[in-house]
Structure 1
């Protein structure tokens, strides 16, 4: 099924049901369908053809959702880019995929101008909320929604590309992940299935729509007939919880930083908390203290721990009933997919032996845009010699019952005094220490030890000291994995997607030294 069919089908089944709530705006499925249809017509009139790229550089607002479905209806490849990136980051995307159109909010006019100059590529500009600020050669977003133009006829199928989603670039230059309509159809169906999403759900998302985890909140909600409540960020959790209560929110996707913020909230009235049916967590596993805090706030909610990456959206999930026994596991492969741990020779690793996670299924990407070498490196055969697996580059182990445990990125594992160390394992121990709100371990080059291990820590208690942390770690970790220093901070450095950044932590520590 093509992705725009999700919306068309729901608009036919329940046209007046609320599809989207963003700030003061409320759009029904019919509204979203009609507005995106009109914008798709405008894109076609402006020369956007099937296969052309349309870059969206916007916050998580109603216009972003409209533009996503408009691009798909026009037959274009939608390229969502996080509006938190700087001009050079946007320039890389423009230079790399050469979009026909760039849709953005008026507050980004200066940045987008800088990016197009740096990229030496100037696509059609469509600007939302521009007022009198729009350049003379730009099209106002609002005008796109007033035009009624037929969409050109043409052969379209689910093998066409739907999205080009750029990776964070944490392990090199950002790569464009090619997801076909069939890939997205398969992934969204699996997610909706294990979460049990239907038209009774109201899902609140404070995740960027440019982030795979956030984008699928929209796609799954539209597919299942649920209402999606969009928030631009999670800066004011009290206010967001109030809104979630008022809207009767039943689903709440989280990342660990959001869970950490919720764990510190005080004086919350249970009468003013939403009636959550489920919560999801991705990016990293939650410390036990945060799990306990979430359970205390939302005792009826089922908590799903998941692992995913841009190249396949989701790979595994842990059923909530297993969380008590396996709090650090990310579960097993999604239904209809395979997830194996393989050794350095490409053979399936024995239980509890670390290896690389590889994934096979209909939701795995088509490859990287204009990068056949990197595509061939990560999409290759597995132990059975048949088909292609996605080689994730992530280190995992599986227990005797087949449950998977994330160890760390292969390129994050370094040697400290001759011993292999995964900073993520150190993160987990630090986060379990009483009095720790958040923590991240990182390494920097050292002429004697090879690498030096340190940690940034956000304390939750004034009693927390470096001595307490060192003692806690020494009791639970081998000596090379005990950080040499613990640097206290009020917050940890994060990427535009809200993920804690190990690279930025190392850069910050270097400046301190």
Structure 2
């Protein structure tokens, strides 16, 4: 099914049900459907056609949700862009995907305008929200005016194997790459995830993650697919305000990333069961340390906690059924429904349990490839077990236990070679997170003339009295000697990507730059 039909169907069946809640607006399904149809008509009237690429350069606002469905109703492909994106990166994306239109906000128009000029591309249709003066910025037409168009169905003749979205990777290892996802692959991913999360139309999901981040984006797509309600917030900077929102709206689902979990666990005034409406918590972007899982389960008794693993190229790969948390600490579980996950060696042969190898994913939710990047596509999508298919080589190292449950070892590129040994940073981080005085930590290799690389760690303390020696002694009790960090640096915060994920690359650069 095409994604926009999720909305059309739910608006017909439950027009008055609340679809979206933001700080300044509540939209029922009928209103969300109507507004997106009006904007689609405006896009079509301004030349946007089937398979054109439209950038949605906004923060988490109701206009962004309307824009996503409007682009799809026009038959085009949307590309969500993080609101913190700078002009040079935006210009690259504009040129890379040959952007036909940009939907944005007044506060972001200076960046959008600079990027349009830098890209050298002309004829881009730009629509923007009004600024503080209630005026549309120069260089754009008013998004409000677009929403006055007559709502009507556009006969774009699109089908479900057309591209629904082009979502760009962070570019942490080079230029951003556009991940191509069809309507069919998005539908398959949403169906699989909502199945194991046991989502229903009665769910009220709170999302603080950027809609430009696929984990945040899918909260919207899954909610609309189900006919559930999404509470959209801009950030988790003030957790107490978010908690109050959860209580006010009776939120049942809370998607987290590890940095959010760390913030919650540093708060001292929380009592178990303080958010009684919650039914489940999910985590992805990076694995939750086992110590954090245990503390979250203490704070949220009776709440199902889903530890998951995924990547932009297929949305989600694995999940750990909550009943397995005690039996398989550290595992990210099994393949999501209607998906296969297996671990292979460098020759592509499946390895036995306990042996580390590259994780490979097979399923209908796998991307079509990277936009206009055949070389990167060929490295990542390779022939599968059947002659008609390609499977996704994730670049991540995993191992399985005897029952086939998966354990993340590390990214191939992250493995640190020290004293002739190979060290997976995640193993060291797990020990660091188990220390009660450590809130967050990231481990990297630091160039060393003798060792090749020394193990270094950036650490955020929850107990300000712990010292570098305390941390090293703790690690020495639980790790082999060559895995114990030789360099410890205490910081007030860790470097993060736009999506809130701790950046190992930036952490390594910080440690190398330190005097």
TM-score, normalised relative to structure 2: 0.97
Q: Distance in 1 between matches of 2:85 and 2:446?
A: 25
- Number of residue equivalences: 513
Residue 386 of structure 1 and its aligned partner are, at CA, apart by 6.2
Structure 2 match to 1:225: 227
Instruction: Please give the per-residue CA displacement for 1:159-198, whole angstroms capped at 9, x wherever unaligned.
Output: 1000000011122221100000000010001111111111
Residue 167 of structure 2 contacts residue 180 of structure 2 at CA under 8 Å; is this kept in 1?
Answer: yes
CA displacement at 1:11 relative to structure 2: 0.4
Instruction: Name the residue aligned to 1:284.
Output: 286
Q: What's the counterpart of residue 470 of structure 1?
A: 472
Instruction: Name the residue aligned to 2:110.
Output: 110
SS across alignment from 1:420: strand
2:286, 2:501 within 8 Å by CA — same for their partners in 1? no
Change (3 A) 1:481 1:370: same
Q: Which residue, 308, 314, 317 being the options, matches 1:315?
A: 317
Whether 1:275 aligns to 2:277 is: yes
Equivalence for 2:57: 57
Aligned to 1:244: 246
Q: 1:342 aligns with which of 344, 353, 358?
A: 344
Q: How much does 1:383 deviate?
A: 5.5
Task: Report matched runs for 1:89-100 at 5 Å.
Answer: 89-100=89-100
Q: Deviations over 1:191-231 (max 9, x none)?
A: 11111111111000110000000000000001111100011
Q: Deviations over 1:4-24 (max 9, x none)?
A: 011011101111000000112
Written as runs of structure 1 = structure 2, the 5 A alignment for 1:70-469 is 70-122=70-122, 123-130=124-131, 131=133, 134-148=136-150, 150-268=152-270, 273-382=275-384, 387-469=389-471
1:418 and 1:116 map into 2 onto residues whose CA distance is 49
In the TM superposition, residue 243 of structure 1 has moved relative to its aligned partner by: 0.7
The offset of 1:289, in angstroms, is: 3.1
CA distance in 1, matches of 2:481, 2:78: 48
Native 8 Å contact 2:454 2:487 kept in 1: no
Q: Offset of 1:447 from its aligned partner?
A: 3.3
The CA deviation string for residues 38-60 of structure 1, in whole angstroms up to 9 with x for no partner, is: 00000000100000000011001
Mean Cα deviation higher: 288-297 or 248-257: 288-297
- The answer on whether the counterparts of 2:130 and 2:137 sit within 8 Å (CA) in structure 1 is no
- Is the 2:273–2:301 Cα contact (8 Å) retained in structure 1? no
Quick check: 255-264 or 82-91, which moved more?
A: 82-91
The 8 Å contact of residues 75 and 156 in structure 1, kept in 2 or not, is answered as: yes
Q: Distance in 1 between matches of 2:154 and 2:7?
A: 19
Displacement of 1:437: 0.4
SS of aligned partner of 1:457: strand
Gaps of 5+ in 1: none
* Cα deviation code 1:446-484 (max 9, x no counterpart): 333222321110011133211111111122222232211
For residues 208 and 218 of structure 2, what CA distance do their matches in structure 1 show?
Answer: 12
- Three-state SS of the structure 2 residue aligned to 1:458 is strand
Q: CA separation in 2, counterparts of 1:15 and 1:151?
A: 17
- Using the alignment, how far apart are the partners of 1:138 and 1:51 within structure 2? 22
Deviations 1:484-508 (A, max 9, x none): 1111111111111000111111222
Q: Distance in 1 between matches of 2:92 and 2:354?
A: 40
Q: 1: distance between equivalents of 2:441 and 2:473?
A: 16
- Structure 2 regions of 5+ residues with no counterpart? none
Match of 1:28 in 2: 28
What secondary structure sits across from 1:475 in the alignment? Answer: helix
Write the deviation string for residues 59-115 of structure 1: whole angstroms up to 9, x where unpaired: 011000000000010011100011112222211211110111011111112111221
**TM-score (norm: length of structure 1):** 0.97
Q: Quick check: 38-47 or 137-146, which moved more?
A: 137-146
CA RMSD of aligned residues (A): 1.6
Name the SS for the 1:358 alignment partner: strand
Q: 1:284: how far off?
A: 2.1
Higher mean alpha-carbon deviation, 49-58 vs 166-175, is at 166-175
Q: Secondary structure at the match of 1:24?
A: coil
What do the CA deviations read for 1:307-363 (whole angstroms, capped 9, x no partner)?
A: 010011101100000011222111000111110000111100110100000000000
Once the 2 structures are TM-superposed, how far is the Cα of residue 274 of structure 1 from its aligned partner? Answer: 4.3
Tell me what 1:506 maps to: 508
Q: Aligned with 2:341: secondary structure?
A: strand
Once the two structures are overlaid, the 10-residue window that deviates more, 369-378 or 393-402, is: 369-378
Query: Who is 1:488 aligned against?
Result: 490
Q: 1:387 & 1:438 partners in 2: Cα distance?
A: 41
